[in-house]
Structure 1
Amino acid sequence: MVLADTARVNSDALRRIGWPGPADGGAPALPGWAEALAAHPQAQPARVVEQHRNGYVVADGPEHGFAAESLPEWQRPRFPAERRAGVGDWVLVEGRRIVALLPRYSAIKRGAAGEHYKQQLIAANVDTVFVVCGLDADFNPRRIERYLLLVRGGGVEPVVVLTKADLAAEADAEANALAALLELAEPAAQGVPVRAVNAKDRASVAALDPWLQPGRTAVLVGSSGAGKSTLTNTLLGVERMKTGEVRERDSRGRHTTTYRALLPLPSGACLIDTPGMRELKPTGEEDVAESFADIEALAEQCRFRDCAHLREPGCAVRAAIESGRLDPQRYAHYLKLRDEVAGAADKLAHRRAQKAEEKVLGKALNKRLDDKYGRH
C-alpha cells in the first residue's frame, strides 16, 4: 500500500516529525499499520505532539499542529490510561477527530501513583531515552538505576546524560565511575553510554548528536532541576522551553515543564521533553536481572541454589560485598527493586485475570439476552 498514491500524506513533512515509513510515503513495515491505514481510507496520519487534560495537539508536519478530539472510548473513566494516545503516538485523523491509534513500536511507561494498579505512558515510538541527571546534589546513581530499569521495559536504548558538567570539578571522574558501574552491570551490552555535558553549550551538547540523527525520536526523563529544558533549548537553538533555578540545599527544581511535548530539532530528529518525575514505580513488566546482570552472575556462583545471601556458607554475593567488589547500597537497591517489580507483576496479573473474567461474563450475559429475546 503506497499512501502517496492516494495523496493522503506529505511524506517529507511527516518524515521530519519521525514518520517510520519509506521516503516515497509508503506504509511502514510495522505490525498492524497497513491494516489500520486500509481500514480508514479517508483518514490522514498525524503524530501526537502535546497531551493535555482536555485533549491533544497533533501534527502532520514540523510547522503544522492542531487540536484534535479524542476517540469517545478514551474518555470513559475506566478506560486504561496506557491505551489512550500519548505524546509520540501516531494516530489517524479525519478533520479534527482522531479515529484510530496506530500500533506502537516502543513505549516508556511507569506505574501511576496510588494504591490501585495503573500504568502511565511517558512517551511512545521513541528510539532513545536520555536519562538526565545533574552533576550537583541531584546526582544519584540509585535513581539512575531505577530509570534504566523502566526504560528497558519499553525496549528502548538508554543514554545517561550528566548535565552541569561546567559546575562540577569532578565531572569526568563521576561520569567515568558511573560508566564503569553500568558496564560492569551489563557486560553483554557493553554498558550504557554516559555523556557529561554543559547543557547550555551547543559544542558540549554535540556529544548527543549520534542519537539525534534525522528520523529518530528521543525523550528526556529526569527529576525537576536536572536541566532537561535547558538541554532542549540548546538543541533547538532557541529559548523555547521555560527554565528555572534550583534550590541550593538539594539542587531540586520546580516543574518548569508542565506537560509532555514533541519538538522537531534542526538536525531532523524529534525530542520529547517531559515534566520532572519524583516517583518512579515499576509496572511489573520490567526485567530486574537485565539491569543487575553482575549480581545475577554472582548469585549463580553461590554454593547453594536457594541461597538467600544472608549467612549461608559459600555465598558469592556476600563474599563480593565483604571484599569490596560489590557496593552494598547497589545490592540493597537490587533487592528493593526486585520486590517492587514482583509486587507490581502480581497486581498486573490480577488485573488481567479480572479483565478476562469480566469479558467471559459479558459474553455469557449477551448470549442469555440473545436467547431470551431472539436477538441474532
Structure 2
Amino acid sequence: MSPDFAALRAIGWPHEGAPPAGSWATTIAGHPDARPARVVEQHRSGYIVSEGRGDGFRIESLPEWQRPVTGPEARPAVGDWLLINGNAGGKPSAVALLPRHSAIKRAVAGERYAQQVIAANIDTVFIVCGLDGDFNPRRIERYLLLVHGGARPVIVLTKADTEGGRDGPTATAARALATELAARDLPVFAINARRPESAAVLAPWLAAGRTAVLVGSSGAGKSTLTNTLVGHERMQTGTVRQKDARGRHTTTHRALIALPSGACLIDTPGMRELKPTGEEDLAETHFADLDALARRCRFRDCRHRQDPGCALRAAATAGTVDAARLAHYLKLHGEIAGAADRRLHRAGDKPGDKPRGKPPPRRPHTGGRRR
C-alpha cells in the first residue's frame, strides 16, 4: 500500500511527498513493502502509531527494541518515524526506525549511565513555567541546556493572569529573566494558557508540518495549554497545592496530538530530574557569554573558585555577572563533565577522546600555568 503523504503531513511528515535523497530515502528504499507511520504514544507494553489524523493503532515492536537488549535512547520514542508492515486489522509490525533529525533527552536516574529520549523529530521545545510558586529561573536554564541539535527553545510563562504573574517578586524576576534571554535571541512569552487569544502568540511555531513538545514541571499548565491549542478538553488537568504550587501528574504518558493548524504537539509528564547526558556544550547555550568569559581566566586550569586571576569571579564581584547564574553555570559544567566521563566509560572509548560535554580547550600556552 502506497503511503498517503498528505495524511502523514498532518502529523508532522517533514516533506511534501517522499523524502529526497538521504538517510531516510535510503532506509525506505531498503524496505520497499513497508510504509511510514509516526509514534504517537509510548507505553511500557509497546507503541501506538498513526498514519494521519485520527485514532492510532498498536504495533508489534522489533525484538531488539525490548529491554534490556537495547538502551532506552536506541528505542523509538514519541515523535519518531517508523517503517511498518501489515495493516491496522492484521497486527502490523515495525520494520525499521527512521533516523532522527532532532531529539530532546536526559540522562536517566541512577548510577548506571543511560539516556532517555523525551521526544524525537521536534522543531520547537516550549519550556513551560508558571508565574506562581513554580517559577524557577534555574530550572528554565537546565531545560535550555537539554535543547540542542536542531530544535528551537521558546519559554512560555503561564498563569500571567494570576496575582504572581501581574505583580510582586515573581513578576519582577520574570521580567528580568525575559530581558536576559531576549538579549540572547530566546523568545519569552507570558500568557494565560486558558485563553486562545493569549496562546495565539505561539502560532509562528505551530505551522503545518511542524512539531513542538511541551516540557515543564507538574502543575506548570502544560495540559491546560494543550487543551487550548487543540480547541477542546483533550488532556486531563488538575489543581496545584497552594503551599508550594506543585501539581500532580495529570499527564501520565507522552502523547503526540495533531492541532487544527496542521502542526503536532507532544505533551509530556512533569519531570523531577533533568540530568545532562554529557553531550551538551555550554558554549552553544545561553551560557555562551560565561563560557567565553572563562577563556579569559589567567590560568588555563582555573577552577573558578579561589584561583587568582579568575575572570568569572572578578565579573561576579564587579556585579557584571549574576552570582546565582554563575553558580548554576559551574554546577552544570561539573555535571556535564561527570556525565561525559560515565558515557565514555560505558562506550569503552579511549581515555584521550573528548566528548562535547568536556570543558572546552583554553588558549594555547607554552608549559606551566599561564600568567
The TM tier, using the shorter chain, reads 0.7 to 0.9
Give % identity: 65
Q: Distance in 1 between matches of 2:307 and 2:109?
A: 38
**Alpha carbons of structure 1 residues 209 and 246: separation in structure 2 relative to 1, 3 Å:** same
User: What secondary structure is seen at the aligned counterpart in 2 of 1:61?
Assistant: coil
Pairwise CA distance, 1:175: 4.0
**1:51 alignment counterpart:** 42
Residues 1:115 and 2:115 are matched in the alignment: no
**2:354 alignment counterpart:** none
Pairwise CA distance, 1:301: 3.2
User: What secondary structure is seen at the aligned counterpart in 1 of 2:109?
Assistant: coil
- Equivalent of residue 264 in structure 1, options 258, 273, 276: 258
**1:370 alignment counterpart:** none
User: For the Cα contact (< 8 Å) 1:20–1:28, is it kept in 2?
Assistant: no
Pairwise CA distance, 1:60: 0.3
Please list every run of 5 or more consecutive structure 1 residues that lacks an aligned counterpart in the other structure. 1-6, 185-189, 356-376
Pairwise CA distance, 1:172: 6.3
- Equivalent of residue 39 in structure 1, options 22, 30, 35: 30
Pairwise CA distance, 1:290: 2.4
**2:18 alignment counterpart:** 26
Q: Distance in 1 between matches of 2:20 and 2:257?
A: 22
Greater Rg over alpha carbons, structure: 1
Residues 1:351 and 2:342 are matched in the alignment: no
Q: Distance in 2 between matches of 1:123 and 1:86?
A: 6
Q: Distance in 2 between matches of 1:330 and 1:202?
A: 34
Q: Distance in 1 between matches of 2:244 and 2:67?
A: 40
User: What secondary structure is seen at the aligned counterpart in 1 of 2:166?
Assistant: coil
User: What secondary structure is seen at the aligned counterpart in 2 of 1:45?
Assistant: strand
**Alpha carbons of structure 1 residues 320 and 146: separation in structure 2 relative to 1, 3 Å:** same
Query: 2:227 is aligned with what amino acid?
Result: N
- Deviation by residue 1:314-343 (Cα, 9 ceiling, x = unmatched): 433222212222111111111111111101
User: For the Cα contact (< 8 Å) 1:175–1:194, is it kept in 2?
Assistant: no
- Equivalent of residue 152 in structure 2, options 147, 154, 157: 157
- Equivalent of residue 234 in structure 2, options 231, 240, 246: 240
Query: 1:43 is aligned with what amino acid?
Result: A
Pairwise mapping of residues 268-283 of structure 1 onto structure 2 (< 5 A)? 268-283=262-277
User: What secondary structure is seen at the aligned counterpart in 1 of 2:134?
Assistant: coil
| TM-score, normalised by the number of residues in structure 1 | 0.87
**Alpha carbons of structure 1 residues 183 and 294: separation in structure 2 relative to 1, 3 Å:** farther
Pairwise mapping of residues 292-303 of structure 1 onto structure 2 (< 5 A)? 292-303=287-298
**1:182 alignment counterpart:** 181
Please list every run of 5 or more consecutive structure 2 residues that lacks an aligned counterpart in the other structure. 87-91, 351-371
| TM-score, normalised by the number of residues in structure 2 | 0.88
**Alpha carbons of structure 1 residues 98 and 177: separation in structure 2 relative to 1, 3 Å:** same
Pairwise CA distance, 1:243: 0.3
Q: Distance in 1 between matches of 2:197 and 2:236?
A: 21
Q: CA RMSD in A?
A: 1.7
- Deviation by residue 1:254-310 (Cα, 9 ceiling, x = unmatched): 000000000000011000000000100111100123221121232233344443333
Q: Distance in 2 between matches of 1:100 and 1:311?
A: 53
Residues 1:169 and 2:166 are matched in the alignment: yes
**1:361 alignment counterpart:** none
Number of corresponding residues: 340
Q: Distance in 1 between matches of 2:30 and 2:213?
A: 30
Q: Distance in 2 between matches of 1:301 and 1:354?
A: 31
Q: Which has the higher helix share?
A: 1
Pairwise CA distance, 1:174: 4.2
**Alpha carbons of structure 1 residues 215 and 172: separation in structure 2 relative to 1, 3 Å:** farther
**1:140 alignment counterpart:** 136
User: For the Cα contact (< 8 Å) 1:127–1:217, is it kept in 2?
Assistant: yes
Q: Distance in 2 between matches of 1:310 and 1:64?
A: 56
Q: Distance in 1 between matches of 2:147 and 2:261?
A: 24
User: What secondary structure is seen at the aligned counterpart in 1 of 2:139?
Assistant: helix
- Deviation by residue 1:50-94 (Cα, 9 ceiling, x = unmatched): 000001110000114111111111114131111111100000111
Pairwise CA distance, 1:183: 4.4
Pairwise CA distance, 1:192: 1.0
Q: Distance in 1 between matches of 2:100 and 2:312?
A: 39
Query: 2:176 is aligned with what amino acid?
Result: A
**1:374 alignment counterpart:** none
**2:186 alignment counterpart:** 192
**1:287 alignment counterpart:** 281
User: For the Cα contact (< 8 Å) 2:283–2:292, is it kept in 1?
Assistant: no
